[in-house]
Amino acid sequence: MLLKPKMLSFQSSKNVLSLTEDLLVRIYELLAAESDRKSFRLVCREFRRIDSLTRRHLRVIRIEFLPILLGKYPRLQSLDLSACPRIDDGVVSLLLTRVGPGSNSPSLGHWAWGLKSLVLSRATGLRFSGLEMLTRACPCLESVDVSYCCGFGDREAAALSSAVGLRELNMDKCLQLTDVGLAKIAVGCSKLEKLSLKWCMEITDLGIDLLCKKCVDLKYLDVSYLKVTNESLHSIASLLKLEVLGLMACPLIDDVGLQFIERGCPSLKVIDVSRCEGVSSSGLIYVVRGHRNLLELNAGYCLSELSTALLHQMKNLNHLEVIRIDGARISETSFQVISANCKSLVEIGLSKCVGVTNMGIMRLVSACINLRVLNLTCCHSITDTAISAIAYSCRSLVCLKVESCNMITEKGLCQLGSFCLLLEEIDLTDCCGVNDKGLEYLSRCSELSCLKLGLCTNISNKGLSYIGSNCLKIHELDLYRCTGIGDDGLEALSNGCKKLRKLNLSYCNAVSDRGLAYIGRLEELSDLEMRALHKITGVGLEAVAVGCKKLADLDMKHCEKVGDSGFWALAYYSKNLRQINLSYCGISDMALCMVMGNLSRLQEAKLVHLSNSTVEGVELALRACCARIKKVKLFAPLRFMLSSEILEILHARGCIIRWD
């Protein structure tokens, strides 16, 4: 971004400000990166005004700034409040009557008039009256996400049903929702095109039947994990426009139900029956026979084997792009049939499949040259021969998962580094044949963004330095139990991988405070696992807290040598922390209260076996955070030592308590 305040001379500022509003808006809309847009609005007041008028999407991190932000951006079309779980009916009422604290202007909820998309995921404090106010104030609503609002039920569904223009609704894990609430939505929101009901365990065939009769425009329906039966599939089969159907882990559906799908859902392109215990190859034959234009078939962990009859039907799937048959028994001839007939494949999942051999993979990739994603997790017979064939044939590969394929060595990685230059993700967890030389070859894949090396005990700081020098786009790195990695490797990593957001250093015993000081340079880091780093103290934790301002998830279980100075720094600097694991740490009562009380965004905490904390200290800490904490794990004996009052308060506020 060139328009930075410090770089503008007086004359250039004058020239820029002479641009018309229309031109400034067009310039702003060309800025794709949020960092560039931030630089734009910092130039001057006029540019800030253009930003306010033009911004269409807002994701709020701190609820206390919400009134000011909504007053600042009056033309929003999309509002994401998923990071504000404390929002409740009272806050909604305030937002719809005032904008900005202390405002004297009533009825200033103009921000809601043009809103089309609203994300309220995990907003467990919100109830039906707040939803009712929102749906009435937002007449243009087309998409609502209330997933993981576990307390939502029929009254909340009734409130949502007044959004008559709704086209997309996500109600995953709204555990209190029953057929009554679903009926309200089906009748009120007849324009629905996309609906997700995963884990809504009270929904039955009756509710699904009414839904299919009223919402005939449905294109996407997910009823995964529901105890619906084949009767629901009979109803779903009547949906003429349905393109995507999710049936994952539905224990009561079987091949008979899929027979209904064969004769229905003429527009079906994607179906997921993974982990459906009653489904076999016979049921999938019905699906394949009735839908030759199928693009994606997910049958992971439901087939005992890929039968000859099913393979025969698959010859007609000329447009198939994705197939997942994880856990099935498969033969070399099966690979030959798939490669000969499914030439459009871009993804295949073979995780834990029995019968996967080098020859089978060679036959598969010889024809499926457009593969972009290949999952061979726990295919133990795979060697460098198969990896070389994959590398040579699949030049467009972006994701390769070979966890626990122990016979892969530097030779296979050399081929990947030579031919798969578009590779973005590779999982080498528990591949003990991977060494520093292999990482040197792999580092040629400069597009790598996700690298998993957990349990690769033959790599060292030298290997990590290759990654740090060449793979500058890495944002996720797993080094779990890589005991050869130490401070020098982390120095190389911090010098090159500035975009790193997720890092696992658990059980890397050689890492000390010096290594954590290097980690503190990673300003984008949001997720850090550092279990059982026995050499680190409060000095190292303080470096991370001060440097990694975006840290949201921290796991430091069994870091016994960290003293209160580190925890004080955490409480003062790590304001964005949402999850923390302090189990088996030596934190004192006072430091624990500071951490739990000061971290205003904290939603989940694990506090098992705190050797330097007392029962009274734990109770005070829980009182300090009880208004916002959503899940807490405690030492089992505390169940009988904590006061009934604090346990009742936590329960009343919807906090889930787990005992260890």
Greater confidence (261 vs 125) lies with: 261
In a domain, 356, yes or no: no
Please report which helix (H) or strand (E) contains residue 502, including its range: strand 502-504
* pLDDT, position 423: 98
| Pick from 93, 92, 97, 89: nearest CA to 79 | 92
Classify residue 32 as exposed, middle or buried by CB count within 10 Å of its CB (0-12, 13-18, 19+): exposed
Output the DSSP codes for 364-378: HHHH-TT--EEE-TT
Tell me: do 145 and 288 sit in the same domain. no
Do 225 and 214 fall within a single domain?
no
Question: How sure is the predictor about 34, in pLDDT bands with cuts at 50, 70 and 90?
Answer: low
The Cα–Cα gap between 279 and 329 comes to 15
At position 443, the amino acid (one-letter code) is S
- Answer yes or no: is pLDDT of 328 > 50: yes
Q: Are strands 604-607 and 579-581 parallel, antiparallel or unpaired?
A: parallel
Last residue of a domain, one of 201, 218, 235: 218
Please say if the pLDDT value at position 118 is more than 70. Answer: yes
Q: Higher confidence at residue 124 or residue 265?
A: 265
Residues 155, 288 within the same domain = no
Q: Are residues 288 and 304 in the same domain?
A: yes
Domain contains 150: yes
Whole-number pLDDT of residue 139: 93
Q: What's the whole-number mean pLDDT along residues 619-638?
A: 92
Among residues 360, 361, 293, the alpha carbon closest in space to that of 333 is found at 360
* Rounded-to-integer distance, Cα 212 and Cα 210, Å: 5
Distances (CA, A) of 158 to 55, 91, 307, 451: 31, 20, 46, 45
Same domain (yes/no): 260, 297: yes
Q: Is the pLDDT of residue 404 over 80?
A: yes
Are 336 and 361 spatial neighbours (Cβ–Cβ below 8 Å)?
no
User: In terms of domains, do 42 and 182 share one?
Assistant: yes
- The DSSP annotation for 415-456 comes to HHHHH-TT--EEE-TT-TT--HHHHHHHTT-TT--EEE-TT-
Say which range, 85-94, 127-136, 185-194, has the weakest mean pLDDT: 85-94
**Residue 293 in this model has a pLDDT that exceeds 90:** yes
Position 99 confidence tier, pLDDT thresholds 50, 70, 90: low
**Considering the domain boundaries, does residue 13 fall inside one?**
no
| pLDDT(206) > 70 | yes
Task: Note whether 590 and 647 are same-domain residues.
Answer: yes
Q: pLDDT value at position 9? A: 47
Look-up of token digits 């390769």: 400
- The string of pLDDT tens digits covering residues 447-461 is 999 999 999 999 999
* Residue 316 pLDDT: 86
What band does 39 get if pLDDT is binned at 50, 70 and 90? confident
Same domain membership, residue 248 and residue 166: no
Q: Looking at the structure, do residues 203 and 242 belong to the same domain, yes or no? A: no
Q: How many residues comprise the chain?
A: 660
What's the whole-number mean pLDDT along residues 315-339?
Answer: 92
**Is 105 or 286 the better-scoring residue by pLDDT?**
286
Is 196 within a domain?
yes
Residue 100 has pLDDT above 60, yes or no: no
In a domain, 612, yes or no: yes
231 and 145 co-located in one domain: no
Q: What pLDDT shows up at residue 17? A: 56
Q: Are 602 and 577 in contact (CB under 8 A)?
A: yes
Amino acid identity, residue 447?
A: E
User: How far, in whole angstroms, is CA 444 from its chain's centroid?
Assistant: 28
Specify the range with the lowest mean pLDDT, choosing from 33-42, 111-120, 195-204, 277-286. Answer: 33-42
What's the pLDDT at 16?
56
Residues spanned by the domain of 607: 553-659
Torsion sign over Cα 629, 633, 634, 637: positive
Pair (191, 280) in one structural domain: no
What is the reported pLDDT for 656?
Answer: 87
In a domain, 581, yes or no: yes
Of 300, 320, 340, which closes a domain?
320
Residue 298 in 3-state DSSP? Answer: strand
pLDDT tens profile 534-569: 999 999 999 999 999 999 999 999 999 999 999 999
Q: Give the tens place of pLDDT for each residue, 448-505.
A: 999 999 999 999 999 999 999 999 999 999 999 999 999 999 999 999 999 999 999 9
Sign of the Cα pseudo-torsion (84, 90, 93, 95, in order): negative
Rounded distance, CA 346 to CA 357, Å?
20
pTM of the predicted structure, to 2 decimals = 0.89
180 shares a domain with 85: yes
Least confident range of 3-12, 257-266, 274-283, 638-647: 3-12
Nearest-angstrom CA–CA distance, 267 and 249: 23
Residue 38, SS3? helix
CA–CA dist 584, 609 (Å, integer): 5
Mean pLDDT of the chain: 91
- The set of residues, in sequence order, having a beta carbon less than 8 Å from that of 65 and lying 6+ positions away, is none
Based on the structure, what is the number of domains in the chain?
Answer: 3
Residue 331 forms part of a structural domain: no
| Residue 410 vs residues 425, 428, 435, 441, 544: alpha-carbon distances, Å | 17, 12, 7, 8, 34
CATH number at residue 115: 3.80.10.10
Mean pLDDT of 51-76: 82
> How many C-beta atoms surround the C-beta of residue 629 within 10 A?
23
**Can you tell me whether residue 607 is helix, strand or coil?**
strand
- Of the spans 3-12, 24-33, 108-117, 119-128, which averages the highest pLDDT? 119-128
173 φ, ψ (degrees, to nearest 5): 60, 30
Contact 448, 424 (CB under 8 A): yes
Q: What is the pLDDT of residue 111?
A: 84
Residue-wise pLDDT tens digits, 142-151: 999 999 998 8
Domain boundary among 287, 320, 353: 320
Question: Is 623 within a domain?
Answer: yes
